[in-house]
Amino acid sequence: MGTRHIRAVITMSLESAVQIVAEVFHKYAGEDEKKNTLNCEELKKLLEAECSKKCGAGKMKCLMKRLDENKDGEIDIVEFGALIGMMAKKESCS
Amino acid sequence: MGTRHIRAVITMSLESAVQIVAEVFHKYAGEDEKKNTLNCEELKKLLEAECSKKCGAGKMKCLMKRLDENKDGEIDIVEFGALIGMMAKKESCS
């Protein structure tokens, strides 16, 4: 029997992107007792596992400082959205 | 010939979400001469078409004010990322 090729064109919506952002955020934010924020270590793990980005201590410190708008030492999901925006900016320039 | 069902499990990565965010942003930001920012009208169109969200003038004014961190009257892609974060927050609570 001949092989048949099925080419599925999957158009992903902005809403599916929002869902992925929520899922990935909570996958790592939930590791410590503060379930709705990412600490530095959790963000580092997320970047390594989800974006293959290895960041040293210095770079993580800068990133946390840049994202942590309310200065509580952690990154909430809206602050994490700004990181998605930064990645999208890089994506646009690549 | 019997129909065969193919169940494709599509796992979407954070990187694919970032790509969608960049594509959708530039689809609407590019409408006026300022290609790298969304004005109020462009953001309104984006929300209606991509998220089926109809916002009145008052709500749009509030949203622009909330997102426009650098107060230039427009929304750049990093500021748009914060909107994605707000949507992801709502997604998490639903």
Tell me the per-residue pLDDT of B4-54, one tens digit each, with 9 for 90 and over: 666 655 567 999 999 999 999 999 998 778 889 999 999 999 999 999 999
Q: What is the pLDDT of residue A30?
A: 82
Q: What is the pLDDT of residue A33?
A: 82
- Give CA–CA dist A1/B50, Å, rounded: 42
DSSP of A53-82: ----HHHHHHHHHHH-TT-SSSB-HHHHHH
Set of chain B residues whose Cβ sits within 8 Å of the Cβ of A77: 85, 88-89, 92
N residues, chain B: 94
Q: What is the pLDDT of residue B75?
A: 97
Set of chain B residues whose Cβ sits within 8 Å of the Cβ of A78: 82, 85-86, 89
Higher pLDDT, A10 or B84: B84
Taking only Cα atoms into account, the Rg of chain A, rounded to an integer number of angstroms, comes to 17
A25 — pLDDT class (breaks 50, 70, 90): very high
Q: Are A55 and A63 in contact (CB under 8 A)?
A: yes
- Please answer yes or no on whether B89 and A82 come within 8 Å at the CB atom: no
Tell me the per-residue pLDDT of A42-72, one tens digit each, with 9 for 90 and over: 999 999 999 999 999 999 999 999 999 999 9
B93 — pLDDT class (breaks 50, 70, 90): confident
Q: What is the pLDDT of residue B30?
A: 82
The distance from CA A59 to its chain's CA centroid, rounded to whole angstroms, is: 16
Smallest CA–CA separation between A17 and chain B, in Å? 4
Q: What is the pLDDT of residue B1?
A: 53
Cα nearest neighbour of A48 on chain B: B14
Residue A2 has pLDDT above 70, yes or no: no
A31 — pLDDT class (breaks 50, 70, 90): confident
Percent of chain A with pLDDT over 70: 87
* B window 25-84, beta carbon within 8 A of A: 25-26, 50-51, 76-84
Higher pLDDT, A91 or A43: A43
- Please answer yes or no on whether B82 and A86 come within 8 Å at the CB atom: no
CATH architecture of A14-93: Orthogonal Bundle (1.10)
